[in-house]
Structure 1
Amino acid sequence: MRVLYVVEQGAVLRRAGELLLVERDRETLARVPLLRLQLVLLFGNVHVTTPTLATLLERGIELVLLTADGEYRGRLVGPESGSAELRVRQLEAARDEEFALELARRFVRGKLRNQGVLLLRELDEHPDLRSALDALRDALLRASRAGGLGGLLASEGYGSGAYFTALAQLLPASLGFSGRQRRPPPDPVNALLSLGYTLLTQRAVSALRAVGLDPSVGFLHQFRP
């Protein structure tokens, strides 16, 4: 997915032929081809001309608005793609408890495996990570045996707790990171993790919309008001 991030405060986004121009004080900061562009993220005080908005809508390029600190505000999207039948089938799949559990299990196991891979790369220099790796293996086993979403979420939480505790061992103590904390993040590492998750979420939402799926219909996290 080709993504444009605009962080320059006071910048203006405008179209010039088949290019998007990022300008500030009559200076062109960037020229980005519209071809294959799928997502534009604007941080803080960034302006977009009306013709540019029309072009983004016509070409199915989503525009996401965030604060200067990276908090999500909203998004501008064109007409829905895909068919209603596809979204109905997605909803039916989410209501199928056995199918939803198996798909959610794959999500959780994939996450836990990837966390383990990162720690394994550091094991030679940090032998004390072995206990966290053992905990992640235990979490993987628990996820495989979970008989419902509650047990699956518990195994994910157990494994992620061990992972973030181990991650703290790999970072300088001066950063003040002791584990994952949010709302608000109390240190630079947690702030960057929150920003990274926000950006990743927006890319995932755009990818789902691009194929006609509803990003609000999930499998691991079920429906709630």
Structure 2
Amino acid sequence: MGVLYLDQADTELRYRQGAIELRRDGTLLRTLPGALITRVVLRADTRLSSHTLAALADDGIGVVVLGGRNGQRVAHVLGKPHNDARIRIAQLLNHQDPARAGHWCSVLVGAKVRRQWRLLSHAIQHRPDLHLPLTQACQTLQSIVNSVQACREPGTLRGLEGAAAAAYFRAYAQLFAASLHFGGRQRRPPPDPVNATLSLGYTLLYSAAVQACWVAGLDPMVGFLHQPTHGRASMASDLMEPWRPTVDAWVWDQFRQRYLRPDHFGRDGAGACLMGKAARAHFYAAFTPVQKMCSRAMQRHARQLARALLRDAPQWPDAAPTDEP
């Protein structure tokens, strides 16, 4: 199963008899079996009919529309919903139970921080010149992991996650060349090439998490680690948290290997950093295996969580890696 990215203007998308057709000026460019596609991402102006949207949704193929020059506006067209409303009812009841919500928060934060630790530990091998700051960050993350394991209070766990993010990004930022001007995580708008690339990766991960929730019967808007708030799919945000460091590692590798370079990026009138078309073409092709792996894992965790909620027992899916730091 894969993701189809459309980033050329004036492309027409049709869906007939289980096959996706791509056309331009009436000429057939490509045909793809719908059975191989889980999601279509539209980055450029694309023509498709309401019949095509309905047919894609009916076959479980989601459509993600990225709008704005930075792709910061996102719209989702999801497939058929899950038919068991009991899952959402159980999800809401567990959201209101601090003990069970706290356990889920602990699993999520622990998994994320362990992966952050693993990325920085791996980076020491490639950047021995940064041995001291990377080692210090790893020690901080190890201490936070220990605290997370002993905590089940959601508010405290959110604070630990924030402390881990601060220590992690201070060290992570030092892995990049000074010419990239990356000083830490910033968004809306991203001020530098690394932040622009992270934002696009996180956006695609988020869209996959929304679809994973939908297919599993979870309410994407009601999370445990992320409190419900206007305009945010909090459960989708929960599901993607352990996989952010996977995106981070991929982004670092792209700049370290110079597959992405400063000259691949430009700026708009407001000073936001924009990824050029050549960079986007590379991004979509190279990111596909990472997104595929993360999407499958999030779908699996969403199904496990849905089953646990229906059992009404504290048997929560473990999103954490099996190896400990």
**TM-score of the superposed pair, with normalisation by structure 2:** 0.64
For 1:122 and 1:50, the matched residues in 2 are separated by: 48
Listed as ranges, the matches of 1:20-31 within 5 Å are 20-31=20-31
**What SS does the aligned partner of 2:9 have?**
coil
State how 1:65-104 maps to structure 2 within 5 Å: 65-67=65-67, 69-104=70-105
Aligned CA-pair RMSD: 1.9
Distance 1:29 1:163 in 2: 45
Residue equivalent to 1:115: 116
- Measured after TM superposition, the shift of residue 19 of structure 1 is 1.8
CA distance in 2: counterparts of 1:224 and 1:18, whole angstroms: 37
What CA distance in whole angstroms lies between the structure 1 residues aligned with 2:228 and 2:26?
A: 48
Q: Following TM superposition, by how much is the alpha carbon of 1:74 offset from its aligned partner in structure 2, in angstroms?
A: 1.6
The answer for unaligned runs of 5 or more in structure 1 is none
Given the alignment, which residue of 199, 205, 215 partners 1:200?
Answer: 205
C-alpha distance in 2 between matches for 1:86 and 1:18: 30
Question: How far does the alpha carbon of each residue in 1:22-80 deviate from its partner, in whole angstroms, 9 at most, with x for none?
Answer: 22344544432111432222113112134322311321222121115322332223542
Query: Which residue does the alignment assign to 2:234?
Result: none
3-state DSSP class of the match of 1:88? helix
Contact 1:44–1:69, Cα closer than 8 Å, also in 2: no
Q: Secondary structure at the match of 1:191?
A: helix
Cα distance in 1 between the residues matched to 2:171 and 2:29: 40
**What is the deviation of 1:88?**
0.8
Q: Does 1:19 align with 2:19?
A: yes
Secondary structure in structure 2 of the residue aligned to 1:203: helix
Describe the SS at the equivalent of 1:38.
strand
Q: Is the CA contact 1:82–1:213 (under 8 Å) kept in the aligned structure 2?
A: no
Kindly tell me: are residues 28 and 132 of structure 1, through their superposed partners in 2, closer, same or farther at Cα, counting changes over 3 Å?
Answer: farther
**Pairing partner for 1:181 from 178, 186, 200:** 186
Partner residue in 2 for 1:8? 8
The aligned runs of 1:133-212 (5 Å cut-off) are 133-146=138-151, 148-212=153-217
Alpha-carbon distance in structure 1 between the residues aligned to 2:30 and 2:70: 22
- Distance between the aligned counterparts of 1:82 and 1:165, measured in 2? 45
Counterpart of 2:228 in structure 1: which amino acid?
F
Amino acid at match of 1:95: Q
One-letter amino acid of the structure 2 residue matched with residue 5 of structure 1? Y
Alpha-carbon separation, structure 1, partners of 2:36 and 2:83: 19
Range 139-148 or range 104-113, more displaced: 139-148
Distance in 2, matches of 1:31 and 1:119, equals: 42
Q: Which moved more, 1:15-24 or 1:112-121?
A: 15-24
Identify the residue that residue 54 of structure 2 maps to in structure 1. Answer: 54
- Residue 178 of structure 1 aligns to a residue whose secondary structure is coil
Q: More deviation in 91-100 or 29-38?
A: 29-38
Task: Give, as a single letter, the amino acid of the residue that structure 1 aligns with 2:118.
Answer: V
Q: Secondary structure at the match of 2:187?
A: coil
Q: 2:62–2:77: 8 Å Cα contact kept in structure 1?
A: yes
> Higher mean Cα deviation, 95-104 or 147-156?
147-156
| 2:154 counterpart letter in structure 1 | L
- Larger CA deviation: 98-107 vs 146-155: 146-155
For the 8 Å contact 1:11–1:23, the answer to whether it is kept is yes
Equivalent pairs: percent with the same residue?
Answer: 38
Structure 2 residue matching 1:122: 3-state secondary structure: helix
Query: TM-score normalized by structure 1?
Result: 0.91
What is the rounded CA distance, in whole Å, between the counterparts of 1:44 and 1:136 in structure 2?
40
Q: State how far apart, in whole Å, the 2-side matches of 1:26 and 1:157 are.
A: 52
